[in-house]
Amino acid sequence: MTTATAAAREAWDLIRQRDKARQIREQTLRLSQGRPHHLGGQLSCVEILVSIFYGHAPTLPDTRFVLSKGHACITLYAILADLGLIPAEELETIMEAGGRLLGHPCRTTTPAVDASTGSLGMGLSMAAGMALAARTTGRETHVHALLGDGEMQSGQVWEALMLMGHHQLDTVHTVIDCNGAQADGDTADIIGLEPLPARLEAMGLEAVECDGHDLAALNEALAEPRRGRPRVIVARTVKGKSVPMMEGDNRWHSGALSRDQLANALASLY
């Protein structure tokens, strides 16, 4: 493949991902109408999930995904349906009694879900365990893990990061959705994390900071880390991204959209 052809393909892939991000964001809004859920934090991680599922993961031979911030599962379900991993019509059963699409991801009920999550702080340990277990059997399994910045206040997360650094688990691709807010308010006011990149580097990890809504930057950040040094991406995002009435407003941390609110959100979506 020539340099020009590769550049053209990369540009086309970026356009496709941007279109996909808008589609998934719109689907997330529609599926949140009448369903009490964590909409603000779902909208903040759309581009991250699109970059992982449509950009990075398909280029790797053996991949797993752990949504440690399990409350963003509606966005995940929308992507799984778009990829044909679950029936599209099943999206209408999210959170319904007896259904497979629960209010948090569950690997025993939902196809293509690799880890049951929802209790915050546990997902990265699962991801590290998957990668380490694969290594002991001679396989190279790549595991993507998406965390929220609020759950970074959990001690178990830092234990997992230390383990990753110690064992040089460079097949774990960690992204932190840093939207600056959690259930009780601003993350900085509850337990501050900064300087987060410097803290990660001090643990033997490679910290990369980027705009979590810039797909080109995310694609570059998700490229292979330096061998032997796990990469952690600090993705700076906006809660409620692309819906003006929700952006940066933590009242949208959870709650259901009314029909009128959905119409307003879709009309103003950018």
Kindly tell me if the per-residue pLDDT of 225 is higher than 90.
no
For residue 181, what pLDDT is reported?
95
Tokens of 84: 């044909």
Q: Angle between the 123-136 and 155-167 helix axes, to the nearest 10 degrees?
A: 20
User: Alpha helix locations (H) across 191-242?
Assistant: 196-201, 215-221
For residue 248, the SS3 value is: coil
The rounded mean pLDDT for the chain is 94
- Residues 186, 192: Cα–Cα separation, whole Å: 9
Measured CA to CA in angstroms, residue 221 lies from 51, 132, 233 at distances of 10, 22, 7
Tokens of 132: 């380490």
* Cα Rg, the chain, nearest whole Å: 18
Structural domains of the chain, with CATH:
13-251 (3.40.50.970)
Question: Per residue in 136-171, pLDDT tens?
Answer: 999 999 999 999 999 999 999 999 999 999 999 999
The answer to whether 82 and 49 have CB atoms below 8 angstroms apart is: no
φ, ψ at 143 (rounded to 5°): -120, 125
Question: Per residue in 54-99, pLDDT tens?
Answer: 999 888 889 999 999 999 999 999 999 999 999 999 999 999 999 9
Residue bearing tokens 């119409």: 263
Output the CA torsion sign for 17, 19, 22, 25: negative
Tokens of 63: 């991949």
CA atoms within 13 A on the CB side of 207: 17
Q: How large a percentage of the chain has pLDDT more than 70?
A: 97
Question: In what helix (H) or strand (E) does residue 131 lie, and over which residues does it extend?
Answer: helix 123-136
